[in-house]
Amino acid sequence: MNDVKEQFNRATAEHEMIVVSDAGMSRQITFKKPNSFNNHFHITTWPGYLAITGDAGSYIFSRLPDMFEFFRGNEINPSYWGEKLQAVDRHGGYREFSEDRFHEAIKDDFEQWQYSDGDEEEEAAAKLAAWAALQESDLSEDSCPESAEDAISRAMAYECPVSGGTFGDFWEHDLQDHTFRFLWCCHAIQWAINKYDAAKALALSNGEL
């Protein structure tokens, strides 16, 4: 997630805010680099809704009458915010299969296996042998399942030739994570609101409001 934020910060380093309209809970604001539409995005709100559109994707959320209030802060909350989605970008979506989560789940379940009835030394040797066998299978750290369904099918079909261990409950794992586009847009929304609030505060202190 931090990688996405770093990429967002680089992509928007020269962005400027253009307020197209600003009437209470109804706003239309564009953020872009002057003379360029690269990585530009628009924030549009109306009572009860917020939409983000632009280069990084399009998403619509609904939760509070003023959605700026919902998104304000310094840390994004993609899991909770995702629950408030009303429309999802057709190219990037909201969640997708994560190879990282798949391999983490394999390791977590592997650690729960019983490897030997002997002493600690025998247990350690059996565990190493079981891990070596796993790395020769299609569950290895180098394997790349095509989908969550493929990953679950592979895991549940495996039986360790050393310990007899299986991944019988592997279907219980959540192997999906948020898409890059969705995370980018989450950062964009919160960053945009902070920019808007700062501009409003400055205008107020200068007696412009």
Which structure tokens are listed for 95? 């969640």
Per-residue pLDDT at 116: 67
Distances (CA, A) of 80 to 62, 69, 114, 172, 179: 12, 15, 37, 21, 15
* Overall average pLDDT of the 90-118 stretch: 89
pTM: 0.85
Which structure tokens are listed for 117? 């009835």
**Sign of the C-alpha dihedral computed for residues 42, 200, 9 and 95 taken in this order:** negative
Per-residue pLDDT at 70: 97
Per-residue pLDDT at 208: 75
CA distance linking residue 181 with residue 122, whole number of Å: 48
* Overall average pLDDT of the 149-170 stretch: 94
Mean of per-residue pLDDT scores for the chain:
93
The pLDDT tens digits of the residues spanning 115-152 come to 767 678 888 888 999 999 999 999 999 989 999 999 99
Residue 143 corresponds to which amino acid?
S
Distances (CA, A) of 146 to 121, 140, 152: 38, 14, 11
**Which residues, 6 or more positions from 35, have their beta carbon under 8 angstroms from its beta carbon?**
none
Which structure tokens are listed for 132? 């070596």
CA distance linking residue 81 with residue 46, whole number of Å: 17
**Sign of the C-alpha dihedral computed for residues 104, 106, 109 and 113 taken in this order:** negative
Which residue carries 């895991």 as its tokens?
Answer: 155
- Confirm if 50 and 189 have CB atoms less than 8 A apart: yes
Distances (CA, A) of 207 to 127, 201, 204: 71, 10, 5
Which residue carries 């390791």 as its tokens?
Answer: 107
CA distance linking residue 188 with residue 207, whole number of Å: 28
CA distance linking residue 169 with residue 101, whole number of Å: 15
